[in-house]
Amino acid sequence: MTTTKRKLPSDYLAQGWCQREYAQKKSGKSVYYDAVDACSWCLWGAMEIALWNHNIDNQESNKLGRWLFDHNYDVPWNDAPSRTQAEVVAVMLEAEAAVLRRSTEAAP
């Protein structure tokens, strides 16, 4: 039996992060979070693509969203001009550690 690590929102953010849009392609043009050419996501777009790709379920997405809102990590926080990708990834990692199941392995 082979298991693969599921791609969590923090993985998408580490791959690429954007502001003022849910997702962008390489040119910086806005695209839907699930677009084939999307290569960067905002804090919330990363959760949407992880949910869309079945890497997290609805309950996990809701818990992540609640944790982020409860800690004031909202859209204006993501879009602050001084915000960095490293900060956003760190917050998502903290949220995932707080609310997701211990196992990050996908079912066979």
What confidence category does residue 98 fall into, taking pLDDT thresholds of 50, 70 and 90?
Answer: very high
Q: 30 - beta bridge partners?
A: 24
Mean predicted confidence (pLDDT) in 50-60 = 93
pTM: 0.86
Task: Find out whether 44 and 78 touch, Cβ atoms under 8 Å.
Answer: yes
Task: Find out whether 68 and 60 touch, Cβ atoms under 8 Å.
Answer: no
Check pLDDT > 50 for residue 3: yes
Of 13, 23, 20, 6, the closest CA to residue 93 belongs to 13
Q: Is 98 exposed, middle or buried (0-12, 13-18, 19+ CB in 10 A)?
A: exposed
Residue 94's pLDDT is: 95
Mean predicted confidence (pLDDT) in 30-44 = 94
Q: Quick one: tokens of 44?
A: 């919330």
